[in-house]
Amino acid sequence: MKKVVILGAGESGNGAALLAQQKGYEVWVSDFGLIKEGYKNELRQWGIDFEEGGHDMEKVLSADIIIKSPGIPEKAPVIKAIREKGIELISEIEWGFRFKGESRIVAITGSNGKSTTTSLAYHILKESGLDVAMVGNIGYSFARQIAEAPKAWYVAEISSFQLDDVNTFRPDIAMILNITPDHLDRYNYQFENYVASKFRITENQTNTDIVILNKDDEASRKYLEQHTINPRIIYITMSDAHNNSGDGGYMQNDEMHIKWDGDDMKVSIHDMTLDGKHNQFNSMAAGISARAAGIRKEKIRDCFETFEGLEHRLEFVATVRGVDFINDSKGTNLNSVWFALESMKKSVVLILGGQDKGNDYNEIMELVEEKVKAIVCMGLDNTKIHEAFEGKVPQIADTQSATDAVNAAYALADKGDVVLLSPGCASFDLFKNYEDRGRQFKEAVKNL
């Protein structure tokens, strides 16, 4: 009996463990940190042995296959030891793929917009009656879904970390929405390494598969100038200069065009529930994937009009005495902040800050100068924000909690303004994660 070792006992690790046990492998789970009680109870319930608080390297290195959590970096000692010994090391996405049977996969990656696009594509396929699940970084892990409730279709949100350790993973329909600098500490601070990681989603595709690419994304364009990929490329763009004849998506006079097999589907942006240029890209990508999956354009149009946006992603919270509050806590990099500001039609009080990931605030300077009347910093160290924006924005305030940030922003806002939480930073200095930050923000708004 082959031995499978799982590194990390979160959602992906537990899902991989369950699938491995179900397929008859000897399974053992090892987590360097402490395992959440719910996941420990699952492992006990399934009769799977585990350890926490460190790795027993003798047991780890006795494995035939090792499946690792996407959170474990290549430089971790345990990964270096596995590489040295030459044991097969894969991601949970790769593991799930090996047991997916005849099912089909729509896989979405990119620096921004993954969760919204994944949710919208899933919404369209589900409302159209397909047997479909949403998996990956959103919803259940791919492996857990296959073990517990296999489907004919999977819509998967996939990070670069998950793609780093695939060997055979091959989606029928792939999307790379955009690529902007993020997580560069995992890629030796080389942007081209991060770009190559995103394009691994196409690595095993053939010319019978498709990849949807953003024609306006500079990093994707440069990559394709230097590399050849196998799948059929379908482009989306904000311009009508491209794709007028071929399949793809483009914008023209406030109308979105989604062309497939020569059939042009048009949707007014005023009929769509998602606002902003970035969401037009997301909707085009989801719409084309649905057309490629055989969904009728009338159903896609209906779903564009009924889809409800995600929690913590440009989520309207409330209007308090004429001031709108928007929760974009999932905006953990400056590209997300740029998109959030770009979609704002009112004067903005911007709540910014957290654990800085090496931000260059010049990336958003033009939009900040145009739209932001005040910045409320929400972090333990706000030095870089002050250095970037003092003299550019009339007022900057410092806070160290969601409640203080909301109160300060409300005091700085006038009737008709919007208070936008779009931090551009990780949340770990003051919060458990971006969800915790967003929920505390919403609670503070309700308490105004």
Please write the tens of the pLDDT for every residue from 379-404.
999 999 999 999 999 999 999 999 99
Please write the tens of the pLDDT for every residue from 150-168.
999 999 999 999 999 999 9
SS3 281: helix
Q: Strand 418-421 relative to strand 395-399: parallel, antiparallel, unpaired?
A: unpaired
Give the pLDDT score at 343: 84
* Mean pLDDT within 48-53: 97
Q: Are residues 253 and 374 in the same domain?
A: no
pLDDT of 240 over the 70 cut: no
Give the pLDDT score at 253: 87
pLDDT of 259 over the 60 cut: yes
Please write the tens of the pLDDT for every residue from 189-205.
889 999 999 999 999 99
**Residue 278 maps to which CATH number?**
3.40.1190.10
Give the pLDDT score at 257: 93
| pTM as predicted | 0.82
Q: Are residues 359 and 287 in the same domain?
A: no
- Find, among 402, 397, 408, 409, the residue nearest to 435 by Cα: 402
Q: Are residues 56 and 111 in the same domain?
A: no
Q: Are residues 200 and 327 in the same domain?
A: no
pLDDT of 289 over the 70 cut: yes
pLDDT of 28 over the 70 cut: yes
Contact assessment for residue 272 and residue 283, using Cβ atoms and an 8 Å cutoff? yes
153-157 β-sheet, strand order: 132-136, 153-157, 104-109, 173-176, 210-214, 232-236, 248-252, 255-260, 263-268
Please write the tens of the pLDDT for every residue from 75-123.
999 999 999 999 999 999 999 999 999 999 999 999 888 999 999 999 9
Give the pLDDT score at 142: 97
Q: Are residues 169 and 301 in the same domain?
A: yes
- Give the residue, 137 or 301, on which the prediction is more confident: 301
**Residue 428 maps to which CATH number?**
3.90.190.20
Instruction: Return d(Cα 302, Cα 325) in angstroms, integer.
Output: 28
Residue with tokens 């690419």: 213
> Which amino acid makes up residue 131?
D
Q: Which of 42, 60, 86 is the last residue of a domain?
A: 86
Using pLDDT thresholds of 50, 70 and 90, give the confidence band for residue 308. confident
Q: How many domains does the chain have?
A: 3
CB atoms closer than 10 angstroms to residue 324:
18
**Residue 66 maps to which CATH number?**
3.40.50.720
Q: Are residues 116 and 234 in the same domain?
A: yes
Using pLDDT thresholds of 50, 70 and 90, give the confidence band for residue 241. low
Using pLDDT thresholds of 50, 70 and 90, give the confidence band for residue 239. confident
Instruction: Return d(Cα 388, Cα 368) in angstroms, integer.
Output: 11
Give the pLDDT score at 429: 83
Q: Give the residues across from 234 on adjacent strands.
A: 212
Q: Which of 288, 306, 324 is the last residue of a domain?
A: 306
Q: Are residues 356 and 302 in the same domain?
A: no
pLDDT of 285 over the 90 cut: yes
pLDDT of 243 over the 70 cut: no
- Distance set, CA 44 to CA 10, 17, 24, 51, 68 (Å): 14, 12, 17, 11, 20
Please write the tens of the pLDDT for every residue from 202-236.
999 999 999 999 999 999 999 999 999 999 999 99
Q: Are residues 99 and 68 in the same domain?
A: no
Using pLDDT thresholds of 50, 70 and 90, give the confidence band for residue 268. very high
Q: What is the mean pLDDT of the chain?
A: 93
Give the pLDDT score at 245: 63
Q: Are residues 102 and 10 in the same domain?
A: no
Give the pLDDT score at 356: 83
pLDDT of 309 over the 80 cut: no
Any idea how long the chain is? Answer: 448
Tell which phi-psi region holds residue 8, choosing left (phi > 0), alpha (psi between -120 and 50) or beta: left
Give the pLDDT score at 137: 87
pLDDT of 242 over the 60 cut: no
Contacts of 136 (CB under 8 A, 6+ apart): 93, 107, 118, 142, 156, 157, 158, 162
Contact assessment for residue 214 and residue 176, using Cβ atoms and an 8 Å cutoff? yes
- E strand or H helix at 265: strand 263-268
26-31 β-sheet, strand order: 49-52, 26-31, 3-7, 65-68, 88-91
Using pLDDT thresholds of 50, 70 and 90, give the confidence band for residue 274. confident
- Find, among 8, 162, 172, 163, the residue nearest to 102 by Cα: 172
> Which amino acid makes up residue 297?
K
Domain that holds residue 343: 315-446
Q: Are residues 334 and 251 in the same domain?
A: no
Q: Name the percent of the chain lying above pLDDT 90.
A: 81
Instruction: Return d(Cα 137, Cα 151) in angstroms, integer.
Output: 17
DSSP structural state of residue 309: P
Q: Which of 306, 334, 361 is the last residue of a domain?
A: 306
Phi/psi for 304 (5° steps) reads -60, -35
